[in-house]
Amino acid sequence: MKLSKLSQLFLVSAIGLIVATWLTACNIVTIDYVYVATTGGSSSGSTGQIYNYAADAESGALRPAHAAISSGGNSPIALAVDSSYNDLYVANEASNTVNHFAIASDGSLTSKDTLTTSEPPVALAVNQAGTYLYVLTGTTSTTLTEYSLSSGTIGSATATETLALPSYPSDMLVPTAIVILPNSQNVYAAVYDSSAYSPGCPSCVTSNANPGWVFGFAVGSGGALSANTNSPYEAGIKPSGMATDPTNRFVYVTDFASNQLIGYIVQSSGELDFMVNGPFKTGNEPGSVIVDQRGLYIYVTNALDSTVSAYSISLPTGTPSAALATTGSTSNGTDSQPVAITIDPALGRYVYTANKLGDSVSGFRLNPNTGVLEATLATPYPTGQAPSAIIAVPHGNHATQTTAP
């Protein structure tokens, strides 16, 4: 019998309620807290929200841990945490603010301080030592600013870099992503040149520059930033997400426009060199990318396909190879339009995506031997409106998973 759309919705809701009741009745062990930034809550007209979930150790299923709270602004677009998992930072794009929250042992959040930026913040990152917060801002120009951190509190700007192409200084660069090597010695920022790439508006293209770029900077004494050798580096057409492995050897960038993953080898100077056998195929409109804590697997969200692509990493070279599921597929279905991804830091066994059009989070169990993903119990999990960012922190009783291959 074919069910109507409304009947299907009631059925899914009923199943979710049954599962939630079962989880409540069981002896649940929480391993992680998962935070999701959304444009609004369940009611119309609400501002940015942060939804808070607890992840179950046995199943990876998510359940609400605390009530959603305000992100401190409008249109939150990025989340970052420090390595001690005591502090959470939220970039509110429409409000030109970065808000700092303290993370309690029970996963609850307390608003602490706010940074106001001159341009919309797009991406955030905190260095391993927890001493600097990096904020990438702009709409038609890009600025990378480094702020001091003291016990999580955001201090003054210690370095500022305006990003421009040496041969095309007047081109308009749009910021997309940022990543810091785990050793905190280099920071990389991705942009695309809207003067050279403007789909749907050929007359808007005024430059023959390569559209996609990654800028690299070495972090020196006192946080001083200096451009890496040969920076910036070509990065396809529209770089959209960035990740690095835990051994400081590789950087990966998704190209939204070319449906590919670009791999770089990090030289001792911080310079980036292309992996000789790349780039690597993804699904359609790849965005967020993450490397697991062991440095063995890569996961990429494909917004147009509503899938996650899984790859295993060749440790000597960093080359990613598609991880085949038992079905023979290299991708894993999510709810509609996944735009952000995280891996649980406690066990390194669960993967979650924020699905912008699905108003949900999809969960997967990560096979640590193969990298293959399998849907978690009762996935997807409902969120507020248009989730755009997701991040996880470990419960205080669990150590985090790290490996230096």
Residue-wise pLDDT tens digits, 366-395: 999 999 999 999 999 999 999 999 999 998
Sequence-distant (6+) residues with CB within 8 A of 93 are 74, 75, 76, 77, 120, 121, 122
Contact present, 163 and 189 (Cβ < 8 Å): yes
Distance of alpha carbon 255 from alpha carbon 239, whole angstroms: 4
At 126, the pLDDT band (50, 70, 90 cuts) reads very high
Residue 276 forms part of a structural domain: yes
| Number of domains making up the chain | 1
Structure tokens at 382: 């409902």
Q: Which of 46, 45, 105 lies closest to 71 in space, CA to CA?
A: 46
Residue 165, domain extent: 31-394
pLDDT higher at 26 or 274: 274
Integer angstrom CA distances of residue 270 from 63, 179, 227, 267, 386: 41, 13, 9, 5, 36
Residue-wise pLDDT tens digits, 213-230: 999 999 999 999 999 999
Residue 403 forms part of a structural domain: no
Residue 362 forms part of a structural domain: yes
Q: Among residues of the chain, what percentage have pLDDT more than 90?
A: 83
Phi and psi at residue 301, to the nearest 5°: -85, 140
Structure tokens at 238: 């529209």
pLDDT at residue 354 tops 70: yes
**CATH number of the domain within which 36 lies:** 2.130.10.10
Structure tokens at 55: 């992840």
Residue 221 forms part of a structural domain: yes
Residue-wise pLDDT tens digits, 90-107: 999 999 999 999 999 999
Strand partners, 253: 242, 262
In this predicted structure, what is the pLDDT of residue 9?
39
How does DSSP assign 233-278, residue by residue? Answer: EE--S-EEEEEE-TTSSEEEEEETTTTEEEEEEEPTTS-EEE-TT-
pLDDT at residue 42 tops 90: no
Residue 22 forms part of a structural domain: no
In this predicted structure, what is the pLDDT of residue 40?
80
Which 8-state DSSP code applies to residue 168? B
In this predicted structure, what is the pLDDT of residue 256?
98
In this predicted structure, what is the pLDDT of residue 140?
83
Residue 375 forms part of a structural domain: yes
In this predicted structure, what is the pLDDT of residue 202?
87
- Other C-beta atoms within 10 Å of 373: how many? 24
Sequence-distant (6+) residues with CB within 8 A of 212 are 190, 191, 192, 193, 197, 234, 235, 236, 237, 238, 239, 255, 257
Distance of alpha carbon 201 from alpha carbon 401, whole angstroms: 46
Strand partners, 225: 219
In this predicted structure, what is the pLDDT of residue 43?
55
Phi and psi at residue 233, to the nearest 5°: -115, 140
In this predicted structure, what is the pLDDT of residue 1?
43
Residue 348 forms part of a structural domain: yes
At 47, the pLDDT band (50, 70, 90 cuts) reads confident
Distance of alpha carbon 27 from alpha carbon 254, whole angstroms: 40
Residue 399 forms part of a structural domain: no
Distance of alpha carbon 275 from alpha carbon 385, whole angstroms: 39
Distance of alpha carbon 101 from alpha carbon 264, whole angstroms: 34
